[in-house]
Amino acid sequence: MFRPLSLLIINISKHNVASQIKYSTAILPRLSSEKYNIKRKSFGTINESDINHFRSILSENRVITDESDVLPYNIDWIKNCRGQSKVVLKPKTTDEVSEVLSYCNSKKLAVCPQGGNTGLVGGSVPVFDEIVLNFSLMNKVISLDDISGALVCEAGCVLENLDNYVRQHNLIMPLDLGAKGSCHIGGNVSTNAGGLRLLRYGNLHGSILGLEAVKADGTVIDCLRTLKKDNTGYHLKHLFIGSEGTLGVVTKVAVHCPAVSKAVSLGYFGVNTFEDVLQLYRNAKISLGEILSAFEMADNRAICSTVKNLKLTNPLEDYPFYVLIETSGCDEEHDSEKLNRFLSKEMESGHIIDGTVTSEPAKMRVMATFT
C-alpha cells in the first residue's frame, strides 16, 4: 500500500523494537523528571516481594528486571524522555492484566501501560519508577468475519501485521500510520490515532465495534461486541478510545475493516493561492466524491526544502502551493478518468496552474515524496 505522507509522518516501521535496542550511556536522554521538573507523587515503591508476586502471576521470563533490559522501555522513540522504571511486565492474557492491576492498585504501585512505544510525545514511557505493562505478547488475532469485516484481536497486535492479515481476505485496516510496523492496535485505540485513512474511513469512534478493557482495580470491562449497529446501553467503549489508559487498559478490540481498494491514483498540482487550495478541496469532494482518499497541501517553502535536502526533482515548476490528491477505488480506468477530468476542469477554472496524474506505483512514490 502506497503512503503519500512519507515526510510528514515519520516512518518508524523499520526501527527496532524496544527489546532489541542497546543504548550506550553517552546517548541517554535526560531523565524526564529532571528535564521537566516533575515531582513524584506518593505512590508505593516496588520491592522484592512485589517482584516475586508478579513472577507468580506471569512466570519468571515475563518479569524483566535487568537494568539494561528494562532501559529501552524507559526511553521514547525520539529519545526525548527517559523514565526510571525497574520492572517490565509482559502479560499474555486479560486475566493476567487484571491480576497485575488489582495487585498494583492494592499496593498503590504506579503503572505505565505501553504498546509499541512509538508515541512522539513521551506518553508511552514512565517518568519515575512506574511499572511498565507491556502488551507485546498479547498479539493474537481472535477472529475475522470476512463478510461483515469484523476483526477481533488482542491489544498487542502490531497494526501492520493486522493489515497484512485482513488483506488476505480482501479487507484493510481502517487506519494506517507511519508507525504501523511497530505500533499496537491497543495503543492506536487508547490514543485515538488518526492517520492517513481518516479522510476516507473516519475516526476510530466510528470504526471500533467493541473493546475489552481492565480498570485500575482489575475489573474487566467487556464491551467486546462486533455488531456494527449495536445500540444497547451506554456506549462506554468510547470512553476508552483516546483516554490513553487513564480510565483503563485496553486488552482486546473489535475493528470494522473496510474492503480493500484495487486501484490507487495520484494527482500532484501546482496552485496559486491558499483560497484556491480550499476551493480545490471542496471541488475534489464533489467531483471525485467516493474515490477521494487523501488530500494534502504543502507550500512552496516546504517543497523547496524537501527538494533541496532530499536531492529530488520537483515534477512541477515553482508554485506558491502544491496539492497532492490520492484516489482509491475498485476500477483504475474509472478513477483515472475522474482524476484527469478533475484536473482539466480545475485548470480551466484556474484553481490548478499545472498538474500531473499517475497510477504507476513508481511515479506515485516520487510524487509522494514531496508532500
Nearer to its own copies, 1 or 31 (CB): 1
Q: Which residues bind its own copies (CB under 8 A)?
A: 146-147, 149, 170, 191-192, 194, 198, 202-203, 205-207, 228-229, 231, 234-235, 238-239, 241-243, 247, 258-262, 278, 281-282, 285-291, 328-331, 334, 337-338
Nearer to its own copies, 29 or 242 (CB): 242
- Report CA Rg, the chain: 23
Nearby residues of 250 by Cβ (< 8 Å), 6 or more positions away = 155, 186, 189, 190, 211, 212, 213, 240
125 CA to centre of own chain: 16
Nearer to its own copies, 40 or 282 (CB): 282
At its nearest, how many Å lie between its own copies and the CB of residue 200? 8
Nearby residues of 218 by Cβ (< 8 Å), 6 or more positions away = 98, 99, 101, 102, 103, 105
At its nearest, how many Å lie between its own copies and the CB of residue 296? 14
Nearer to its own copies, 66 or 337 (CB): 337
- Which three three-digit cell numbers place residue 292? 477521494
Nearer to its own copies, 79 or 262 (CB): 262
At its nearest, how many Å lie between its own copies and the CB of residue 170? 5
At its nearest, how many Å lie between its own copies and the CB of residue 247? 8
Nearer to its own copies, 69 or 275 (CB): 275
- Starting from the edge strand earliest in sequence, which strands make up the sheet with 220-223, in order? 141-145, 150-154, 249-256, 208-214, 220-223
At its nearest, how many Å lie between its own copies and the CB of residue 328? 7
Cα 60 to Cα 70: distance, rounded to the nearest angstrom? 15
- Which three three-digit cell numbers place residue 305? 526544502
At its nearest, how many Å lie between its own copies and the CB of residue 194? 5
Question: What residues does 267 pair with on adjacent strands?
Answer: 325, 357
Count of other CB atoms within 10 angstroms of residue 105: 15
Give the burial class of 93: count Cβ atoms within 10 A of its Cβ; 0-12 exposed, 13-18 middle, 19 or more buried.
middle
Question: What residues does 141 pair with on adjacent strands?
Answer: 153
Nearer to its own copies, 91 or 113 (CB): 113
At its nearest, how many Å lie between its own copies and the CB of residue 219? 18
